[in-house]
């Protein structure tokens, strides 16, 4: 493994390469780690994107349930356009990946729909599927363009947070898959041919990097705390959801999400089962078994959609982490989070 630098000593205007829990070469940029290929897209987003009052932005640390939140939000805001209860259901979620229905603003090179975004044109994201600009980002709260965080613009942000143990295991599994993609898959994507030289990370090495805050889009705690604090200070601007709460009590969480997005679910809708329909449509088992998510490809056909849907459980970390690792992560989270009031 390459040496890991001290992030605190880094000049945040520059980026440099080191070993990182990520998909390949990563750099430290504005206080967070990012795989090198994403840097230009992030800068493009920061420099050229202009938020509108009506924009809805879904934010997350990688492997925290982004695709689930995308599906839920898409189904909620487009439910007049695409009714959930019709017998001949042609809902886009049945045939299109949630990642292509809700584009990433900072990962234009990964997902086909995201690559179509052109920030230099006004109203650049006039997506033919969606009734409003519903978009996503992984970048920390400190780094979106000013128009997103600016109090004069009313665009809203929903953040989904997942416990650090499951997030870590999910990242480790997913990134190792990316790091070891077969060479033949990489032909069309120069950035991936670079990545293939990365070796899979052992659990121990990955854990060390994660605990040192050296993981793509990390440190994890900085990412989570940025959105958490803003959700406390500006609850109308940022809604903070937890993956585990969505799993445990999906109905109230879904109602809260819909209300925050400005698409409240009426009593009449609730009485005819709209909430349950959305939950079922977006459930892990349902999405995972759709053809598009079983056989579709992303990242210039290099990565299979099915790799986005692994287990979708709370507590899978128990199958991997040793008691010593669990204790270390618990202590670390206590140290990093306790003053914030956010518990994990
Ligand atoms: P696991 O690797 O633990 O299974 P992201 O979308 O941010 O990349 O997060 C991926 C994680 O969310 C994966 O976790 C994936 O299986 C899980 N996931 C995907 N779709 C889901 C859904 N509809 N419901 C719950 N979890 C889901």
pLDDT along the chain (344 residues), means of 10: 39 49 89 89 90 94 98 96 77 93 84 66 57 90 90 92 98 91 54 60 95 96 98 97 98 98 97 96 96 84 86 98 98 95 91
Measured torsion, CA atoms of residues 90, 92, 96, 100, in degrees rounded to the nearest 10: 170
Q: What is the DSSP letter of 195?
A: H
Ligand 1 pocket mutation, candidates 310, 313, 319, criterion most atoms within 8 A of CB: 310
Domain presence at residue 143? yes
Cα gap 129→329, rounded to integer Å:
41
Residues identified as active-site: 138
pLDDT value of position 28: 93
At 141 the three-state DSSP class reads coil
Residue nearest to atom 17 of ligand 1 (CA): 312
Domain presence at residue 4? no
What distances in angstroms separate CA 316 from CA 102, 166, 221, one per listed residue? 27, 6, 20
| Ligand 1 center–CA 302 separation, angstroms | 19
Cα gap 262→148, rounded to integer Å:
17
Residue nearest to atom 27 of ligand 1 (CA): 312
Ligand 1 pocket mutation, candidates 285, 309, 318, 321, criterion most atoms within 8 A of CB: 309
| Ligand 1 center–CA 248 separation, angstroms | 15
Look-up: residue for tokens 């898409």? 74
Q: What is the DSSP letter of 215?
A: B
Q: What six digits make up the tokens of 247? A: 């799993």
Q: What is the DSSP letter of 59?
A: E
Cα gap 268→341, rounded to integer Å:
37
> Ligand 1: residues whose CB is within 6 Å?
60, 62-68, 166, 170, 173, 282-284, 287, 308-312, 316
Domain presence at residue 1? no
Cα gap 293→287, rounded to integer Å:
7
Domain presence at residue 3? no
Q: Which residues of 282-316 are buried (b: 16+ CB within 10 A; e: fewer)?
A: bebeebbebebbeebebbbebbbbeebbbebebeb
CB 27 within 8 A of CB 36: yes
- We report the CATH number of the domain holding residue 154 as 3.40.50.300
| Ligand 1 center–CA 309 separation, angstroms | 5
pLDDT value of position 344: 85
Residue 286 CA: which ligand 1 atom is closest? 23
Q: What six digits make up the tokens of 145? A: 């363009």
Residue 247 CA: which ligand 1 atom is closest? 25
Task: Give the number of domains in the chain.
Answer: 1
φ/ψ (deg, to 5) at 49: -85, 130
Cα gap 246→160, rounded to integer Å:
10
| Residues ≥6 apart with Cβ < 8 Å to 270 | 255
| Entry pTM | 0.90
- Across the beta sheet with 32-35, the strand order is 17-18, 26-29, 32-35
Domain presence at residue 120? no
Domain presence at residue 307? yes
Domain presence at residue 167? yes
Residue nearest to atom 23 of ligand 1 (CA): 284
Q: Which residue range forms the structural domain that includes residue 143?
A: 16-115+131-181+197-338
Domain presence at residue 10? no
CB 68 within 8 A of CB 241: no
Encode pLDDT of 47-63 as tens digits. 988 899 999 999 999 99
């Amino acid at each position: 493994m390459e040496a890991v630098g001290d992030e605190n000593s880094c000049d945040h205007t520059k980026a440099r390469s080191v070993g990182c829990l990520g998909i390949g070469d990563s750099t430290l940029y504005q206080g967070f780690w990012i795989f090198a290929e994403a840097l230009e897209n992030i800068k493009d987003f920061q420099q050229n994107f202009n938020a509108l009052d009506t924009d809805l932005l879904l934010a997350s640390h990688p492997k925290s349930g982004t695709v689930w939140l995308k599906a839920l939000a898409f189904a909620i805001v487009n439910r007049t356009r695409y009714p959930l209860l019709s017998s001949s259901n042609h809902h886009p979620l049945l045939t299109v990946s949630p990642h292509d229905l809700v584009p990433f603003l900072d990962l234009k090179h990964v997902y086909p729909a995201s690559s179509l975004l052109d920030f230099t044109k006004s109203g650049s994201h006039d997506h033919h599927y969606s009734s409003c600009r519903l978009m996503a980002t992984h970048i920390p709260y400190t780094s979106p363009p000013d128009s997103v965080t600016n109090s004069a613009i009313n665009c809203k942000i929903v953040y989904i947070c997942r416990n650090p143990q499951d997030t870590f295991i999910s990242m480790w599994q997913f990134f190792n898959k990316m790091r070891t993609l077969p060479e033949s898959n990489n032909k069309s994507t120069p950035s991936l041919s670079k990545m293939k030289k990365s070796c899979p990370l052992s659990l121990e090495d990955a854990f060390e990097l994660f605990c040192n805050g050296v993981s793509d889009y990390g440190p994890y705690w900085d990412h989570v705390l940025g959105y958490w604090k803003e959700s406390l200070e500006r609850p109308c601007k940022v809604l903070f959801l937890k993956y585990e709460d969505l799993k445990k009590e999906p109905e109230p969480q879904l109602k809260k999400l819909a209300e925050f997005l400005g698409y409240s679910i009426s009593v009449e809708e609730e009485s005819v089962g709209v909430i349950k329909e959305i939950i079922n449509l977006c459930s892990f088992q349902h999405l995972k078994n759709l053809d598009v998510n079983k056989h579709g490809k992303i990242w210039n056909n290099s990565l299979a959609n099915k790799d986005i849907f692994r287990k979708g459980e709370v507590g899978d970390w128990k199958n991997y982490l040793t008691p010593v690792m669990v204790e270390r992560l618990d202590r670390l989270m206590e140290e990093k989070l306790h003053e914030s009031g956010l518990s994990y």
